[in-house]
A and B are shown apart, each in its own frame.
Chain A
Amino acid sequence: MNPKLVYLTMIGSLLLGGCFGSQQAQMYNMKDGSTSTLVVDNPGASAGSISGKLASGGSCHGSFSTLDPANAEKLASPEMMFTDNATASVAMLSCESGKVLRCTLARRTGESFSYGECRDQGGTEYSMVF
């Protein structure tokens, strides 16, 4: 088989598998219903960078990393569920508006994110389904 074709196929598979690229979700403020955007870079990786744009217009930047699902569950609301057979991540984002978002995210192991939740220092929750 043509080595160039094999190489392109491998790159294509990695992109489709979520190892590279980015993943975006609408993030809903559970207090006022406003919509923000969250973007995760390299969503298949165990750690990476994450950014967002709040409904108020301010940008947020931070990073995510993998953690034990049991610990993720302690940080999240009751609606946000984790299991031992999936991967849990935590993310911290600093926003221009002075807000700090602490997020918990869930995904199938080795795949991109399924859903998540963030909470700011004022206790407001933000939910998202990817």
Chain B
Amino acid sequence: MFKPLRNSLGILALVALASGCATREGYLYDTKVPRRGAVVFHDAQSTEGSVDALLANGERCTGKFNTIPDQVEIDDETRQIYREDSQVGLVILKCGAQHIVRCGFQRDHAGAGYGRCSDTAGSHFSLYF
């Protein structure tokens, strides 16, 4: 069941690698039926960037994400943030006509994270990357 998805994820990742960006791959799990889609974060080491996804129903989506700092290290003297240990953020994906998926997520300094998503059709997804 997941083989075509793995191939699609690989193609998405190859396209991303060819464009020279740091990417992070992940999955969008449907919370009602046992199926999953693929997601690739481009510019994954940046605080914001673009996202591509292939939903379990074959629908392709493109969108972007942006983040804010969650857990941080603060310099004692300047009181400025010098390291973001984790971030939270929001992804919005534009899929087919009038179909929007949005995901709130949390990720660590290495880029690994999870989140929860909902869409205009009333479906819910879990995001792991």
Contact = CB atoms under 8 A, between A and B. Distances in A.
Interface of A: 28-34, 77-83, 85-86, 106-108, 114-115, 127-130
A106 B98 CA distance: 25
A64 to B, nearest CB: 16
Given A114-B48, A115-B89, A129 B65 contact: yes
Contacts of A106: 68, 90
Interface residues of B, number: 33
B120 interface: yes
A107 B90 CA distance: 11
B66 A114 contact: yes
Interface of B: 47-48, 63-72, 81, 88-92, 94, 97-100, 102-104, 106, 115-120
A83 B85 CA distance: 13
A30 B50 CA distance: 20
Where chain A touches its partner, the secondary structure class is loop
B120 A30 contact: yes
Where chain B touches its partner, the secondary structure class is strand
A27 to B, nearest CB: 10
Contacts of A79: 90, 102-104, 115-118
A87 to B, nearest CB: 8
Contact of A30 (B67, B69, B94, B118): B118
B120 to A, nearest CB: 5
Nearest to B96: A33
A106 B69 CA distance: 10
Given A30-B100, A30-B118, A31-B120, A83 B69 contact: yes
A80 B63 CA distance: 16
Contacts of A32: 98, 120
A108 B102 contact: no
A80 B104 contact: yes
Given A81-B106, A129-B63, 8 more contacts: A29-B120, A30-B118, A32-B120, A33-B100, A77-B118, A85-B72, A108-B47, A129-B64
A99 B97 CA distance: 24
A104 B71 CA distance: 21
A82 B89 CA distance: 9
Contacts of B66: 114-115, 129-130
24 contacts: A28-B102, A30-B119, A30-B120, A32-B120, A33-B97, A33-B98, A34-B98, A79-B102, A79-B118, A81-B89, A83-B70, A83-B88, A85-B68, A85-B69, A86-B69, A108-B69, A114-B47, A114-B90, A115-B68, A115-B89, A127-B100, A129-B48, A129-B92, A130-B66
